[in-house]
Amino acid sequence: MKKVISFMLAVMMVFALTVSVTALSSPQPEKYYKMSAEAVGPGKADVTPVKVLVGPDGVGTEDVTFTATEDGGEFIRWEFQCEYDVVSGTVQNDVSYDKVVVLRPKSDIHGIAYFKAKDEPSEKPTEAPKKPDDGKTSPKTGYPLLFVFGAMGLALVAGIAVTKKMKG
């Protein structure tokens, strides 16, 4: 009877430790890239859309349009802080002199449109505003497979030791 109980205890321990291995993976929420645009000087900067669903390859599923509108000033350039593919417009070294630029995002995109007053000379700002870090990643869940097999081995050794001790 003692052998049966110890064997059943060992089987229950092994089963309890393997349940997490057979569990389904946690559902992952959909990930979106955030788009933002700001204007420096007398003008307006717009971006459409403001968030883009991330595809399975890590690239956004739709194109993003950045538009600079002169509002009492003269457009100078766009500066982008991100990873992207250019769909239309010319962008070199993250700078574009086109008023409308279309990009395919590979990360969050922050575009800065620079304008100058009609009567002031053009000059580059000393430092561009920083993009905030909005990274929201969840920690990995579950146990590593090696840990589970190690625990199963320990449970098996413990079951054998209990059985031998009860015999002798």
> What pTM was computed for the model?
0.55
38, 128 Cβ separation under 8 angstroms: no
- In three state form, how does the secondary structure of 69-96 look? EECCEEEEEEEEECCEEEEECCCECCEE
111, 47 Cβ separation under 8 angstroms: yes
* The pair of three-digit structure tokens given for residue 41, joined into one six-digit string: 């000087």
State pLDDT tens for residues 13-46.
Answer: 777 777 665 566 677 778 888 999 999 988 899 9
Contacts for 161 with CB less than 8 Å, ≥ 6 apart = none
- C-alpha dihedral sign at 54, 59, 63, 66: positive
Distance CA 40, CA 114 (A): 5
State pLDDT tens for residues 30-86.
Answer: 888 899 999 998 889 999 988 888 888 888 889 999 999 988 888 999 999 888 888
- In three state form, how does the secondary structure of 41-75 look? CCEEEEEECCEEEECCCCCECCCEEEEEEECCEEE
Please state the domain extents for the chain.
2-23+144-167, 32-117
The owner of tokens 């000087």 is 41
